[in-house]
Amino acid sequence: MNVITTEQLLQKIEAGEEISVIDVRESDEVANGIIPGAKHIALGQIESNMDQLDKSVPHYIVCKAGGRSAMACEILEENGYNVTNIARGMMDWDGELQF
């Protein structure tokens, strides 16, 4: 499984790369903050909503600490998606890392 840090993700954005971030936390968690531009699909909804995701682009998957996003990555990889887990997820998200 591919893994990236929030800092590495920010570098990609600053380099002008268009990215797709999928937040797999629950709605009450997302209500407390989400990475700007991220799409929210809770882990329990990934399989029934993966048709909303474009297989031709890489997706970066985030949760609170990296466990649920790793599970989402496994599901999506098994179905032909190019995904990368954001290590330590929102725990490592620093308010200064805005994009």
Domain spans in the chain, listed from the N-terminal domain onward: 2-92
Instruction: Confirm whether 73 is a catalytic residue.
Output: no
What pTM, to 2 d.p., does this model score? 0.91
What type of residue is 23? Answer: D
pLDDT at position 57, please?
Answer: 93
34 SS3 class: coil
Most confident of the following: 4-8, 69-73, 94-98: 69-73
pLDDT at position 92, please?
Answer: 85
The pLDDT-based confidence of 11 (bands split at 50, 70, 90) is: confident
Query: Nearest 5°: phi and psi at 91?
Result: -60, -30
The pLDDT of 10-33, averaged and rounded, is 91
CATH of domain 2-92: 3.40.250.10
Longest dimension (CA), the chain: 34
With 60 as the cut, is the pLDDT of residue 66 above it? yes
Residue tagged active-site, from 35, 61, 62, 63: 63
With 50 as the cut, is the pLDDT of residue 96 above it? no
